[in-house]
Amino acid sequence: MTQGTAQVRLDPLQVSDVEAVLAIQHDVYPAALVEDRPVFLSRIALPRSYCLAAREGARLIGYLVAHGWFANAPPPLGAVLTAEAPGDVLYIHDLGVSREGRGSGIGRTLALRAMELAAGDGIKEAQLIAVGGAEPFWRRLGFAEGAAAARIRPKLQGYGPGSRWMTRRIG
């Protein structure tokens, strides 16, 4: 993002955004962590969806996939979700920022907005799996590494080496 460009706005992530989301995802994640269209569509459709798009003009430059979910039970990587998920916690599944948007604070803005929306619905905690060295980013947003329950450890392995279970109080 350059000085003097259009202001970034946040909107709910739409089905029509998924192709742009996939393009950003392919650019920022290793192949082992890339998910397909049905995974994103299922999360957008959840009753407590906090999926957000960051736009500069009409162009998607960042996205956040987050939703209400069961506490301490992250979905496996690549899972298509069909359950009527409760709002026990805000589960942050995926955050991606395009090359043009990096360094602008968009990722932080997306995450904080989703937590604000979830807190407004009475959700008190956010949980996530930090991947690909993203742990310092999430720490700066107040997340701390949580004790991974035995049932979470196998899912962490599916997210790649160095994956970390992290939590934060919200609201």
Q: What is the pLDDT of residues 45-56, one digit of tens each?
A: 998 999 999 999
Q: How far apart, in Å, are the Cα atoms of 146 and each of 30, 61, 90, 143, 152?
A: 24, 30, 15, 9, 11
| pTM exceeds 0.75, yes or no | yes
Ranges assigned E (strand) in the chain: 8-12, 52-56, 59-69, 89-97, 125-130, 144-145, 164-169
Classify residue 72: in a domain, yes or no.
yes
Question: How many domains in the chain?
Answer: 1
Classify residue 32: in a domain, yes or no.
yes
pLDDT band at 6 (very low <50, low <70, confident <90, very high): low
Classify residue 67: in a domain, yes or no.
yes
- What whole-number distance in Å separates Cα of residue 11 and Cα of residue 74? 25
**Residue 106, class by beta-carbon neighbours within 10 Å (0-12 exposed, 13-18 middle, 19+ buried)?**
buried
Q: What is the pLDDT of residues 7-35, one digit of tens each?
A: 899 999 999 999 999 999 999 999 989 99
Query: What pLDDT sits at residue 83?
Result: 72
- What's the whole-number mean pLDDT along residues 85-112? 92
Q: Which two tokens stand for residue 55?
A: 């736009």
Classify residue 1: in a domain, yes or no.
no
Give the domain extent around 163.
8-169
